[in-house]
Amino acid sequence: MINPFKYSYNNKRYHALDYFYKNKFGKKIAKVSLNGGFTCPNKDGTKGTLGCIYCSKLGSGDYAGNLKDDIVTQFRNIKKIMDNKWKDTLYIGYFQANSNTYAKVERLKELYEPILKEKDVVGLSIATRPDCLENDVLDYLEELNSRCYLTVELGLQTIHEETSKFINRCHTLKEFEDGVKKLRDRNIDVVVHIINGLPNETESMMLDTVKYLNKLDIQGIKIHMLHIIKDTRLAEYYKKHPFHILTKDEYIDIVIKQLELLREEIVIHRLTGDPDPKELIEPTWTIKKIDVLNGIDKEMAKRNTYQGIKSQ
């Protein structure tokens, strides 16, 4: 059967990041995950002190560089490993752990600029919160965007305020909308993070999150399955109040339905996470990432469906 999806050169029926990068740069692109030593306003007391309920002690930066190393050393150590794996590769510095615009501009420059000077680096990907975008930070990001390929990743996780409060996001949907608008007013590409399987969320609620995002001016999305990690408040809650964990088949079904709702030009940066097997409590099926991705591909082909088929 011929693949009906135009943003693909293989069996993918969605706008995969690898396809996007190869069409934009003509080469393999690898992202180097870095830890700039940032915190978050829901950790430092500005809005809260406990952080998101599911967040590991590394602030979602479990595969980022070693914080004991300076930022350039982190980059070079990881890049060396990638160079042995892939040849003729270009790189994007990925500031991953915690909220990576939550600092003075001078501090951001100390971290971002050295990475841009490294060999074969074509851009930066900066993960942050929508309420960590001060005007002077936005001015700097706009300037960065004029001289490298820049994406800003905004954590949303869910549009449902009750869930957002439960997981201790400590920002509103309005703040998220404002954050997207501020970035897009400066022509900066926005990638949004969402999580499937949050406590008490139904399939309909998860699809509503994607329907909402489909109407916004976003350029990419990361879809994660909720991970219950050891030594987190979510792990404590799950032990006392067990809730339904999506099975692999349930997750695949929901992701496909979400992809069907998304505009075909939105780039899919991620469809599943990379949990540390030693730290993961549930769901254990997420450890085999390739099985999840292959399952999505096979089921989309079986249903003869593709990204955007139900977009409105």
What CATH code is carried by the domain that includes residue 132? Answer: 3.20.20.70
From residue 195, how far is each of 155, 184, 206, 219, 300 by CA, in Å? 9, 23, 8, 18, 20
From residue 187, how far is each of 100, 120, 177, 231, 238 by CA, in Å? 19, 24, 15, 39, 41
Beta bridge partners of 267: 220
pLDDT value at position 5? 84
At 150, give phi and psi (nearest 5°): -120, 135
pLDDT value at position 243? 96
Is 129 inside any structural domain? yes
pLDDT value at position 60? 55
Is 45 inside any structural domain? yes
Is 311 inside any structural domain? no
DSSP class of residue 150 equals E
Is 165 inside any structural domain? yes
Q: How far is CA 43 from the centre of its chain?
A: 20
Q: Could you give the number of structural domains in the chain?
A: 1
At 156, give phi and psi (nearest 5°): -120, -55
Q: Exposed, middle or buried, 195 (CB in 10 Å: 0-12/13-18/19+)?
A: buried
Give helix 135-145 / helix 105-116 axis angle, nearest 10°.
20
- Range of the structural domain that residue 259 is part of: 17-303
The token duo for 230 is: 């050891």
List per-block mean pLDDT (blocks of 10 residues) for the chain, which spans 312 residues: 79 96 95 94 90 76 74 94 89 95 97 97 97 97 98 97 94 96 98 97 98 98 97 96 97 98 98 92 96 97 96 86
Distance CA 267, CA 287 (A): 24
Q: Which residues, at least 6 apart from 74, have a Cβ–Cβ distance to it below 8 Å?
A: 32, 34, 35, 64, 65, 66
The token duo for 258 is: 């979400």
pLDDT value at position 85? 86
DSSP class of residue 56 equals -
Is 163 inside any structural domain? yes
Is 211 inside any structural domain? yes
- H helices present in 159-288, as ranges: 161-166, 173-185, 203-214, 233-240, 248-261
Is 10 inside any structural domain? no
Is 201 inside any structural domain? yes
